[in-house]
Amino acid sequence: MKRLGKFLFITSLLLCFLIPRGWTQTQAKNQPDSIELKLKEIYTKREVMIPMRDGIKLYTAVYEPKDNSRQHPILMHRSPYSCSPYGEGFDRHFRTNLKNYIEHRYIIVFQDVRGRHKSEGIFIQVRPLNKNKKGKKDKKNIDEATDTYDTIEWLIHNTYNNGNVGTWGISYDGFYATMTASSNHPALKAVSPQAPVTDWFRGDDRHHNGAFTLLQTTNFLPKLEGRHMGKGVMNQIVKNDVYTDFLALGTFKNVDDLVRDTTQTLWNDIKNHPDFDDFWKERDARTSCYNLKPAILVVGGLYDSEDCYGAWNLYKAIKEQSPDTDLYLTFGPWWHGAWTVRGFQGFGNLYFGKSTSAYYMDKIEYPFFRYFLEGKGEKPKHKVNIFHTGENEWKTYNEWPVQKTAGTPYYIHKNGSVSTQAPAEQESYSEYISDMSRPVPYTANPTTYRTKEFMVDDQRFATSRPDVITFMTEPLCDTLTLAGPIEVELMTAISSTDADFMVKVIDVYPEKFEYSKTARSYLKSDYPMSGYQLMIRGELFRGRFRKGFDNPLPFKPEEITPVNYTLYDVAHTFLPGHRLMIQIQSSWFPIIDRNPQRFIDTYHCTVEDFVMKQKIKIYHQQGAASRVILPVVKK
């Protein structure tokens, strides 16, 4: 009967995680729900201020199992976003991705990072690694790694634990997970940076290839200044839709006028550091990736618009800089953080046919922590787990990029075609007018906010625009599988001194294509998928940085100039009957701010400084061939 009672209790607890859609944060805040009541039967919550080596104390919520029959592993999470609810309530993550750890009675720890919410000290955005620190006895030189080390030291001596600590974090919290790994505390055995902020200039959040992420950063920055979550300014800007209203707002300078009262630090830093200088270089999380001791599982989403770059490139940095580290990588067909949404089978107009998030949580993440923190189960067999879209299958590899790929050039041609044959023409180019009074929108129907679905939106709206040039193959006769980064090599001439270039690699569906009834039911959509244009990867590059992000240079008008850059990794299979399309444009608004199309300071210029219209030529001729180099998996 005891076993039956235990079984029924656990079953009821797990059933509570199937949260009804009507659940709201207001309910969670105002009164204990059935989930929290069940949790309180098996966990106690302790709020402590843990002292750091410099005397600053950090607020920490420690959730401990009431079961004292055995010692428990510790799973820690550090964040600038608050450990609320403070007091008796339980953290929101207990309702999402912590099911496996609750079931196996982990000690769960949440901490407000230095200077945020209930923690003492001064908050510094993406605090750089302190190169002057001299060890545990140095009480002056601190960073996120020292704060983590001191926290782990306290937890090991003040909880009923088994001596093993793990940590995880998504997005900004993923940055703190990376910093935790660099602490190399002997009890720290496993770390999972997930969609981690890694490089805020070259690829994550604040800039993409040196171009300012206008929409996201305007919405984000005022909320994360000072000690508490601040108010955003989007409601002051957006009355109709983000495209119309950001265009009407004008330049960065006018946005600055709105946020000045709510932002004191990073917003000004962005203005004052327009190039990849020491300010940005020291905030690159990859500087902390040498000689890491804990096992590391890097996680990312193929359709993550914020930190896809960070996950791919953090993994590559650890692989190179810490070759002896037990390193693992997982990428799925997810938007930012969607791997924590149980039952996730698709989004927007894309359907994957199975719950990729449940598979990840139950078959990849938990077994990773189980082995390294509990000492149970088998060591993960596969170093790399990647979901290949198109064929919609998980694939395993020993490393990434996959060794059996071949960089295969696909050239664009004057007749709008794409092929592996180089162009033969002596003189050939495609031309369009880049007009900053009507930049290319990031989606067909902008709303009052940036949707997460825009990464998989149908690109047919762009194909019809005169400022987007399109090239396409014939229908494929065989599968074409890509696995790795895409290299872009453009030969261009512009009529002014600066320009942006956006290249999109697109999977064009057959003219007769329809989802199953099951898929349509899940997506709650009957969107016409025949001829759908799915962006596999697209990224904008600010042309002035073609010789290096720390070496901006103007273009010489009308001179043929190479612009080469990398689209971050893909894992996709083009199926027979589909086509490969390449689109090129010079704006992506308001995801990215408008380039004034002159070699001037984009953060302090006015609309009057803009060259509103300029000619862009993309060449496809002998000696000046434009192409993308695709990571084609050999058969």
CATH number of the domain encompassing residue 305: 3.40.50.1820
Q: What angle do CA 236, 238, 241 make, to 5 degrees?
A: 175
Residue 292 has which token pair?
A: 């890491």
Alpha-carbon gap, residue 110 to 63, rounded angstroms: 8
- Count how many Cα atoms sit within 13 Å of the Cα of residue 277 in the half-sphere of its side chain: 8
For the stretch 317-352, pLDDT in tens is: 999 999 999 999 999 999 999 999 999 999 999 999
DSSP 291-343: S--SEEEEEEETT-TTTHHHHHHHHHHHHHH-TTS-EEEEEES-STTGGGSTT
Which structural domain range is residue 264 located in?
207-280
Has residue 17 got a pLDDT over 80? no
Domain-located, residue 85: yes
Q: What pLDDT sits at residue 371?
A: 99
Q: What pLDDT sits at residue 220?
A: 82
Same structural domain, 467 and 612 = yes
Same structural domain, 440 and 512 = yes
Same structural domain, 563 and 414 = yes
Q: 507: domain CATH number?
A: 2.60.120.260
**Sign of the dihedral through C-alpha 128, 130, 135, 139:** negative
Q: 261: domain CATH number?
A: 1.10.3020.10
* Beta strand spans in 415-560 (E): 418-419, 429-435, 469-472, 480-494, 500-508, 533-542
Residue 374 has which token pair?
A: 């509990």
* Rg, Å, the chain Cα set: 25
First to last CA, the chain: 57
Same structural domain, 212 and 182 = no
Q: What pLDDT sits at residue 221?
A: 74
Which residue, among 169, 9, 5, has the nearest Cα to 105 in the 3D structure? Answer: 9
DSSP 541-595: EEGGGTT-TTS--PPPTT--EEEEEEEEEEEEEEPTT-EEEEEEES--BTTSPPP
In contact, 348 and 465? CB cutoff 8 Å: no
Residue 496 has which token pair?
A: 């002014």
- Residue 161: pLDDT band (50, 70, 90) is very high
- Residue 219: pLDDT band (50, 70, 90) is confident
Same structural domain, 158 and 248 = no
Same structural domain, 318 and 458 = no
Same structural domain, 465 and 566 = yes
In contact, 165 and 74? CB cutoff 8 Å: yes
Domain-located, residue 21: no
Q: What pLDDT sits at residue 264?
A: 64
Strands 429-435 and 500-508: unpaired
Domain-located, residue 14: no
Domain-located, residue 2: no
Query: What is the average per-residue pLDDT within 258-285?
Result: 86
Domain-located, residue 12: no
The pTM of the whole model exceeds 0.85: yes
**Least confident segment among 9-13, 115-119, 390-394, 410-414:** 9-13
Same structural domain, 79 and 192 = yes
For the stretch 570-582, pLDDT in tens is: 999 999 999 999 9
Query: What is the average per-residue pLDDT within 376-401?
Result: 96
Has residue 141 got a pLDDT over 70? yes
Backbone angles phi, psi at 570, to 5 degrees: -125, 160
Q: Which residues pair with 44 in a beta bridge?
A: 64
Domain-located, residue 377: yes
Alpha-carbon gap, residue 56 to 60, rounded angstroms: 13
Residue 92 has which token pair?
A: 């929101």
- Residue 198: pLDDT band (50, 70, 90) is very high
Same structural domain, 352 and 241 = no
343 CB neighbour count, 10 Å cutoff? 10
DSSP 8-state code for residue 373: I
Domain-located, residue 352: yes
Alpha-carbon gap, residue 397 to 382, rounded angstroms: 6
